Amino acid sequence: MRIDVVTLFPEFYESPLQCSIVGRALASGALQVKLWNLREFSHDRHGKVDDTPYGGGAGMVMSPEPFFAAVGAIAPGGETPVVLITPQGETLTQAKVKELAARPRVVLLCGHYEGVDERVRTGLATEEISIGDYVLSGGEPAALVLVDAVARLLPGVLGNEASTEDESFSDGLLEYPQYTRPAAIGGREVPELLKRGHHAEVRKWRRKEALRRTLLRRPDLLARADLSEEDRRLLAEVAKEEKG
Ligand code: ADE
């Protein structure tokens, strides 16, 4: 998969793209990330990419032309999704990450300052994505979040393919508690059942604890999760235990 990032700060990505899973995805060729400096698409002699807002007011607005010129140059033809990274976008979910990871190519546009000229949204972006209800100083960290979340889903990137199936959100639930050695630390013990290591029992315990965690922390997720009969039984047990 190829991701094109249009940004005022390509240098922001230097180190994060070399680390960990994303670094591995790039090294293996499963992922290609192309960084484009928006300033190089400026029509202005001085590389200006923003201007004062029509109607007055504080701050600057990012000009539309450099964005149109950049997308026209790097992804002409209109088949590639063009994602404007903005706090006004649809909040990113694992389902959205999966959808993007299935595309051969995606262009990400990073905004800055007070905002981006509305015509970038209406005439260029095919969708808008936010990474949550808080305001960053620019779209770069948000685009990096998206690159990371997508990279780890690409075929061959994670060693153990099962691990994306097992984790938080992949089935709409939070993950069960995990333990490793030592068996006790500061009086806190690993649950006996896990130490016994009986496969079916462990699986059931994990499912129940995933349901407990989701019920206690994110009941909104539970309402949307695809639950089996067995899940509902376990959930009823959990609800009773938590009340009692
Ligand atoms: N730009 C500034 N804040 C943002 C956010 N929360 N998500 C996406 N882009 C942003």
Q: Is the pTM of this model over 0.85?
A: yes
Please state, in angstroms and rounded to a whole number, the distance separating the CA atoms of residues 164 and 115.
Answer: 35
Asked if residue 136 has its Cβ within 6 Å of ligand 1, the reply is: yes
Whose CA is closest to atom 7 on ligand 1?
130
Q: Where are the alpha helices (DSSP H) in the chain?
A: 20-28, 64-74, 94-101, 118-123, 140-151, 192-196, 199-217, 219-224, 229-243
pLDDT per residue, tens digit, the chain (244 aa), is 999 999 999 999 999 999 999 999 999 999 999 999 999 999 899 999 999 999 999 999 999 999 999 999 999 999 999 999 999 999 999 999 999 999 999 999 999 878 999 999 999 999 999 999 999 999 999 999 999 999 999 999 998 655 676 676 768 899 999 999 999 999 999 999 999 999 999 999 999 999 999 999 999 999 999 999 999 999 999 999 999 8
Distance in Å, CA 227 to ligand 1 centroid: 33
Asked if residue 131 has its Cβ within 6 Å of ligand 1, the reply is: yes
Whose CA is closest to atom 5 on ligand 1?
87
Q: Do residues 155 and 30 lie in contact, with contact meaning Cβ atoms separated by under 8 Å?
A: yes
CA-based nearest residue to 30, from 192, 118, 161: 161
Domains of the chain: 2-151 (3.40.1280.10), 166-243 (1.10.1270.20)
Whose CA is closest to atom 4 on ligand 1?
87
Which residue is it, tokens 């007055």? 56
Asked if residue 106 has its Cβ within 6 Å of ligand 1, the reply is: no
